[in-house]
Amino acid sequence: MTRIIADISVSLDGFVTGPDPGPDNGLGTGGEALHTWAFSDDPDDRRLLREGTARSGAVVLGRRLFDVVDGPGGWDDTVGYGAGEVGRPAFVVVTGSPPKSVRTANLDWTFVTTGPADAVAAARERAEAASAVSGKDLDVVLMGGGATIRSAFDAGLVDVLILHLAPVVLGSGTPLFTGGTPRTLVQRSVISTSTVTHLTYDVR
Q: State whether residue 7 is helix, strand or coil.
A: strand
CA distances in angstroms from 187 to 35, 43, 100, 166, listed in the order given: 22, 22, 42, 18
State if pTM tops 0.85. yes
Residue 84 has pLDDT above 60, yes or no: no
pLDDT at 78: 75
> What mean pLDDT comes out for the span 92-106?
94
Residue 85 has pLDDT above 70, yes or no: no
Q: What is the pLDDT of residues 126-171, one digit of tens each?
A: 999 999 999 999 999 999 999 999 999 999 999 999 999 999 999 9
Distance CA 9, CA 125 (A): 26
Greater pLDDT, 31 or 87 = 31
Domain boundaries, given as residue ranges, for the chain: 4-203
> What mean pLDDT comes out for the span 106-127?
96
Q: State whether residue 182 is helix, strand or coil.
A: coil
Q: State whether residue 91 is helix, strand or coil.
A: strand
Cis amide linkage into residue 145, ω under 30° from 0? yes
Do residues 143 and 2 touch, judged by C-beta distance below 8 A?
A: no
CA-based nearest residue to 199, from 3, 5, 30: 5
CATH number of 4-203: 3.40.430.10
Q: What is the pLDDT of residues 49-71, one digit of tens each?
A: 999 888 999 999 999 999 999 99
